[in-house]
Structure formats: structure tokens, C-alpha cells
Amino acid sequence: MTPKLFVLIGPTGVGKTELSLTLAEFLHTPIINADSRQVFRDLPIGTAAPTEEQQRRVKHYFVGTLGLTDYYSAAQYESDVLHFLDTHFQSNPYALMTGGSMMYIDAICKGIDDIPTVDAETRKMMIERYEQEGLEQLNNELKLLDPEYYSIVDRKNPKRVIHALEICYMTGKPYSSFRTNQAKQRPFEIIKMGLRREREELYQRINCRVDEMIHLGLVAEVEKVKEFRHTNALNTVGYKEIFNYIDGTWDLPTAIDKIKQNSRIYSRKQMTWFKKDETIHWFHPDDIDAILSFVKNKMQEI
């Protein structure tokens, strides 16, 4: 029997966490986290990481395992998860992965192109240049060195721009030359389940979750990690806005409204990405019976 990896995906705030616990118990399997921010320690509130109680209920992997200054990439995640699955499938034919980080999910389901690993010296040089010269200058340079990738990259995302330039400098070749976008074959079956809600329903949930984060102590959490604000781990929704509050740029109500707004924008980006994947089976999160029935049928397929 071919092992099966069930992948539960959906936009932020849709309700993946609670349903993943039910599915994990149904499959008698731990949960593989596919959230690129929940892998870092010290960010449990702002990343809506599984609580201690939830982690006692079901074992989670790739949650809170890294320090804020640790470098981690989708390629490393691919390697780590595949190694975990090699061992896991020896004793259990089913596994469950859940999260909303599109690059992490694609890393496991499709594979990452074989792009050279960036050395520490090049990485340090590019970070220093970003801090001294700014993102606009790096974008101009990327346009010259790799116009093909420049035309499609999110030019407001410093991580993407910096990484592309790192590869250009290390190899002397355009970053785009390494991007084949050919899906890799996996020794297991991949079954994707997507969760979606009506837009207004999802937005209301996102707004309520942000309010709950504030209630749980998000501001204090951000205060504790502000010395690491330059790291990629904190270049994310929830932390950037509170930094503006701490700096005195915004008052707290403005920062909270901005977190809600940017979370809603991010949820739309996630859904745009997911909608391109025709292999996803879509469900409403509250339709648990239909979801469990679907999983049960897939478990019985040879």
C-alpha cells in the first residue's frame, strides 16, 4: 500500500488548527506544521501557534524549533519533512500536514528546484547592503542581473529579492536559470483538502482573532523580541505593525486596524495561490462529517 500524506490547507483564520486535531486523532498520526512563522520560538501569540494544550493533545512537528536568528528556507523544510516522513511511514501509512505557507506546502508536494545553498559570507554581505542601500536599489540591481525573475518577483518582499541576488552573485548566473518548476515524484500519495469560507465570514474571524491576540498579550510579545526586529522571522504581519506602535509612529488602535487589514490582504493572496491548484478538494470547515467521510474513503483506497 502506498503511504498517504493528507494536506490540510486554507487561508489564515479559516479554522485549520482545530480541524487538524480532529483529523490527526482520526488518522492516529502527529501533525506536520506547514507555517513558516510557527517554526520559530518566542512567537506563539502573533503566529497563532498551537497551544501547549493542543500540542499535548496531538504531537506537532516543526513548531517552535528555531531561534529568531536561525536561517531556514523552504528547501531546508523540504529536506527535513521528507526525512521525517521516511521514518514515519515505516510504522504508519498515513501522515497529516497542515498550514497556510504556500512555499512550504509546495516544497513538499511539488519539490524545490535544486538551487545552490547561499554561503554565510554572501548572505551577510547582502543583508548589510539591504540595510544600507534599501530595497529599491536592490530591485534595480535585480532588474539588470535577472530581468526574467524581476518581472514576476514580489518586489516588496526583501527576502525574495535578496535571495535572488545572492544566487546571482554566488553563481554568476541569473536566479531564474535555476527555476525549472518541474514537480518531483514522491514515494507517497498526496491528498489535498482545502478549507474556505465566504469572504465576510472569514474577515470577521480574522478580525476577532487579531483582537484575541491583543488580549493574550501580543504587544508584550513584540516588546520582548524587538531587538531581533531586523530578522526575517519578524518581517511579517502582526509584528511590523506593533513595531510601528512601539516606535510611536501609530497609536495602538491604528496598529490593530492595520494588522486586521494586512491579514485580510494576506488571506486573499493565499486563496489566489490555492485556487490555481486543481488537485485540492474543497470543504467548509464546519462540514466535519463530509471531511471525515472523504478521508475515510481515501484511507481505504489502495
Query: pLDDT digits over 18-44, tens only?
Result: 999 999 999 999 999 999 999 999 999
- Asked whether residue 184 is domain-assigned, the answer is no
User: Does residue 139 sit in the same domain as residue 287?
Assistant: no
Enclosing domain of residue 160? 120-178
Output Rg (C-alpha) for the chain, integer angstroms: 20
User: Does residue 169 sit in the same domain as residue 196?
Assistant: no
User: Does residue 258 sit in the same domain as residue 209?
Assistant: yes
Whole-angstrom Cα distance, residue 63 to residue 231?
18
- Asked whether residue 183 is domain-assigned, the answer is no
The pLDDT value recorded for residue 230 is: 86
Phi, psi of 124 (to 5 degrees): -60, -45
- Which of 154, 178, 202 is the last residue in one of the domains? 178
pLDDT in tens, 205-237: 999 999 999 999 999 999 999 999 988 889 899
Q: How sure is the predictor about 1, in pLDDT bands with cuts at 50, 70 and 90?
A: confident
User: Does residue 282 sit in the same domain as residue 194?
Assistant: yes
Q: How sure is the predictor about 177, in pLDDT bands with cuts at 50, 70 and 90?
A: confident
Global pTM reads 0.85
Average pLDDT, the chain: 94
Whole-angstrom Cα distance, residue 176 to residue 149?
5
Domain count along the chain: 2
Q: What is the CATH number of the domain that holds 124?
A: 1.10.20.140
Centre a 10 Å sphere on the Cβ of residue 22 and count the other Cβ atoms it contains.
14
pLDDT in tens, 197-212: 999 999 999 999 999 9
Give one word for 238, left, alpha or beta, with left for phi > 0 and alpha for psi -120 to 50.
Answer: left
The pLDDT value recorded for residue 201 is: 97
**pLDDT mean over 287-294:** 97
Give DSSP secondary structure letters for 241-269.
HHHHHHHTSS-HHHHHHHHHHHHHHHHHH
Whole-angstrom Cα distance, residue 47 to residue 85?
25
Q: 91 exposed, middle or buried (CB, 10 Å; 0-12, 13-18, 19+)?
A: exposed
The pLDDT value recorded for residue 10 is: 96
> Quick one: which of 91, 9, 3 has its CA closest to 281?
9
The pLDDT value recorded for residue 237 is: 95
Above 80 in pLDDT, residue 131? yes
